[in-house]
Amino acid sequence: DGGITQSPKYLFRKEGQNVTLSCEQNLNHDAMYWYRQDPGQGLRLIYYSQIVNDFQKGDIAEGYSVSREKKESFPLTVTSAQKNPTAFYLCAIRDRLDGYTFGSGTRLTVV
């Protein structure tokens, strides 16, 4: 995973429940990203952060929240306002080649 750890690997959410996905990195990178992947829709950006204590909304931020209190950590909360949260969630850092390195992902399912 190139120093990016996502947990848990699988997560089940009940209706009306908030859940938090963890993303930790030990590569000392400033920029971190959260993407959502649905079948046939590619990767869509939820939130990103370029520096501690600062983050920006991506294309589909509604129903999600993030924090960036430490450089190493960028957790994503899927709130009850997100009506269709079942998806594969990917955290990424931006590496020296200007591309991304992704974590192993969290697969979230609503039960």
Residues forming the site for another protein (CB under 8 A): 1, 31, 33, 40-43, 45, 48, 50, 58, 90, 94-95, 97-105
User: Which of residues 18 and 86 has its CB atom nearest to another protein in the complex?
Assistant: 86
Closest to another protein by CB, 19 or 93: 93
Of 17 and 57, CB closest to another protein? 57
Kindly report the number of other CB atoms within 10 A of residue 53's CB atom: 10
DSSP line for 48-65: EEEETTEEEE-TT-TTEE
Instruction: In angstroms, give the least distance from the CB of 106 to another protein.
Output: 10
Closest separation in Å from C-beta 87 to another protein: 13
Q: Are 100 and 3 in contact (CB under 8 A)?
A: no
Question: 58 exposed, middle or buried (CB, 10 Å; 0-12, 13-18, 19+)?
Answer: middle
Minimum CB–partner distance for residue 35 and another protein (Å):
8
Tell me the closest approach of the beta carbon of residue 93 to another protein, in angstroms. 12
Q: Rounded CA gap, 3 and 90, in Å?
A: 14
Which CB atom, from 78 or from 90, has the smaller least distance to another protein? 90
Between β-strands 42-51 and 10-13, what pairing exists: parallel, antiparallel or unpaired?
unpaired
